[in-house]
Amino acid sequence: MMLGLLRKIRRAEGGVATVEFGIWVTTFFLVIMGVLDFASFYMERSQVNEALSAAATKSFADRENVDFGALPVYVRNFAEMPTLSVSASCNGVAGSCTNINRTCACLKTDGTYSAGTCGSTCSGSGMTSGSTAGYYVTLSADHRFSPILLPGGLLKGTSTGQSVTVRVQ
């Protein structure tokens, strides 16, 4: 009796389409959520990049009297991310930005700075050919991304950090 019931259940095909539909919809939903997490990450990173670009343009436009204290607020507001961590450094030194008695430097190809006389041609190893010494402002912004669905190892805690350097003198 029990054996006959098992054969009958094994041959029954009612509800197979419903089960297959449930499996496919769940798989499709998980794939779409993963794609949305990756898209959100790149959109957030793009917002940070655009905000830094706008702040660099503003710094260059106000190069004679840059409001260094307002730049982080400007970046946060432009990116629409109040928790965005923003910092400014000048000639590679954090918190040293000033509008009075600026010292100039040469920007090397590896991203470091070498002391130089304002307006003089930078020469030596690691220097960009034909560049001139100036006052460089570097703006950096960082935000930790929190995925909605993806497992912690894929994007959790991934930084949307960006930085931009502009010569203001």
The count of structural domains within the chain is 1
Ramachandran class of 113: left when φ > 0, alpha when ψ lies in -120 to 50, beta otherwise: beta
Domain, as residue range, for 62:
15-167
Residue 3 resides in a domain: no
In a domain, 10, yes or no: no
Query: Can you give the C-alpha Rg of the chain in angstroms?
Result: 28
| 130 within a domain of the structure (yes/no) | yes
Across the range 8-23, mean pLDDT stands at 77
Q: Tell me, yes or no, whether 4 lies in a domain.
A: no
In a domain, 141, yes or no: yes
Closest by Cα among 168, 10, 4 to 89: 168
Strands (E), the chain: 85-90, 93-94, 105-107, 113-115, 136-142, 162-167
Within-domain flag for 8: no
What is the tens place of the pLDDT at every residue in 138-168?
899 998 887 777 666 566 667 778 888 888 8
pTM > 0.85: no
pLDDT surpasses 80 at 38 = yes
Average pLDDT, the chain: 84
Residue 1 lies in a domain: no
Decide if 5 is inside a domain: no
